[in-house]
Amino acid sequence: MKSGKKRREWLGGFYVVPAMALLIMLLIIPLLYTVYCGFFQYKYMMKGNYVGLDNYIYCLTDSTTRNAFLTTLLVTIAATVISIVVGLILALWIDKRGGFFAYIIELIGLVPWVISMVVAGLLWRWLFNGDLGLFNVILKFFGLDPIYVIQNKVSAVIALIFVMSWRTIGYAMILILAGLKGLDGSLLEAAKVDGATAVQSLFRIKLPLIKSQVLLATIVLTVSNFTNNTVPKVLTSGGPVNATNVITLEQYNLSFIYYEFGKSSALSVLIMLVVTIIIACYIKVARYEI
């Protein structure tokens, strides 16, 4: 009887085999294959000589790549911080309100996240467009000079950060709200009875208790912003003059414009390393159990 049960448990492994096979085939093996490709010279898809770490050295020393990395760092940090701070404020606000009102705000907040990045990029590009875009129409209405947002180096970066934060504020809000909803109400009640002010209970009770929720949202958004190439590609196409050329666009260009697949493989591995570090933090914070 006991061995029968054990056998049943063993056979239970077969339930996960198809899913695992697909994930190993399309997520794990390609990643390992890229690590291998990064050590070779490529002419388009033709594998050339083994070049050791040359591709990696190129990626780490090339000034365009380095600038792209710095741009990515700036955009990622700025967009993530804005999303988390605004998302946190919104979550605290609608948690207090609750009910149907809160549900509507949640839904409206998620709209930018559920529509595609191509569509979001395109629509904002239209709003920021030269003289006809709504943004400049509004500026003109108030008697201000138009700003050609996408054509100007500084404003293009700001626009990119703005659109990336716009996309994820609602998402951050939902994740943080889940933490707030899980709070023990009696704790806050007790603090109130003891004479704690609203500010005190916010900083001493609420925030410390939802710390890991906020941290997780931060990590997820960091990965997503760091590896986002669709929004910059559609909104600014990396311009003007490489001002918004983020690392994933550089990786794309290396592959599909310069056909340097050895170098782009090495760059992919480097990006993957950064993402792996972030995911390691994620697993540590999430403390998954099975």
Partner 1 sequence: MKRETKTKKYVMKTVEIAFAAIFGILNLLPIFWGVVTSLKNPREINAFPPKILGFLPTIEHYEKILSSGFFRCIINSVVYAGLAIALGVLLGYLAGYGFARRNFPLKKLAFFLIVVGIPLSTGSSVLLIPNYMYLMNLKMANHWFTMPLIYTAYNLPMATWLLISGIKAVPGELEEAALIDGANQRYIVTRLIPPLVKPSIAAAALFIFIGAWNDYITASVLVTGNELKNIQMAIYDYMGFFGQEWGPLTASATCAVIPILLVFTFLGKQLVSGLTAGAVKG
263 closest CA partner among 27, 53, 21 = 53
245 binds partner 1 (CB under 8 A): no
Rounded to an integer, what distance in angstroms lies between the CA atom of residue 174 and that of residue 140?
A: 36
156 binds partner 1 (CB under 8 A): no
In one letter, which amino acid is 37? C
Q: Which of 201, 250 has the CB closer to partner 1?
A: 250
Choosing from 122, 198, 202, 277, the residue that interacts with partner 1 (CB under 8 A) is 122
Q: What is the distance between the alpha carbons of residues 225 and 219, in angstroms, rounded to a whole number?
A: 10
Which of 48, 52, 98, 182: binder of partner 1 (CB under 8 A)? 182
Query: Which residue stretch of 17-25, 64-72, 191-199, 200-208 sits at the interface with partner 1 (rule: CB under 8 A)?
Result: 17-25
Contact between 213 and partner 1 (CB under 8 A)? yes
Stretch that binds partner 1, among 31-39, 51-59, 145-153, 187-195 (CB under 8 A): 31-39
Q: How far is it, in rounded angstroms, from Cα 68 to Cα 243?
A: 8
End-to-end alpha-carbon separation of the chain, Å? 26
Number of residues that bind partner 1 (CB under 8 A): 105
Q: Which of 88, 160, 161, 175 binds partner 1 (CB under 8 A)?
A: 175
229 binds partner 1 (CB under 8 A): yes
Q: Rule CB under 8 A: say whether 277 interacts with partner 1.
A: no
Q: Segment near partner 1 (CB under 8 A), from 48-56, 187-195, 197-205, 256-264?
A: 256-264
Cβ neighbours of residue 197 under 8 Å, at least 6 residues apart?
none
Among 115, 144, 190, 202, binds partner 1 (CB under 8 A): 115
Torsion of CA 11, 13, 14, 16, to 10 degrees: 160
CB 219 within 8 A of CB 132: no
Measure the CA–CA gap between 235 and 90, rounded to whole angstroms.
26
Phi, psi of 47 (to 5 degrees): -75, 130
Instruction: Return the structure tokens found at 42.
Output: 């490529």
Is residue 147 a contact point for partner 1 (CB under 8 A)? no
Closest approach, Cβ 20 to partner 1, in A, equals 6
Backbone φ and ψ for 220, nearest 5 degrees, come out as: -60, -45
Q: Per rule CB under 8 A, is residue 141 in the interface with partner 1?
A: yes
Look up residue 196 and give its DSSP letter: -
State both tokens at 18.
């198809």
Interaction of residue 80 with partner 1, rule CB under 8 A: no
Q: Does 110 bind partner 1 (CB under 8 A)?
A: yes
Return phi, psi of residue 238, to 5°: 85, -10
258 touches partner 1 (CB under 8 A): no
Q: Does 203 bind partner 1 (CB under 8 A)?
A: no
Residue 123 near partner 1 by CB under 8 A? yes
Question: Segment 38-57, which members bind partner 1 (CB under 8 A)?
Answer: 45
Say whether residue 22 binds partner 1 (CB under 8 A). Answer: yes
Minimum distance, C-beta of residue 246 to partner 1, in the bound complex (Å): 10
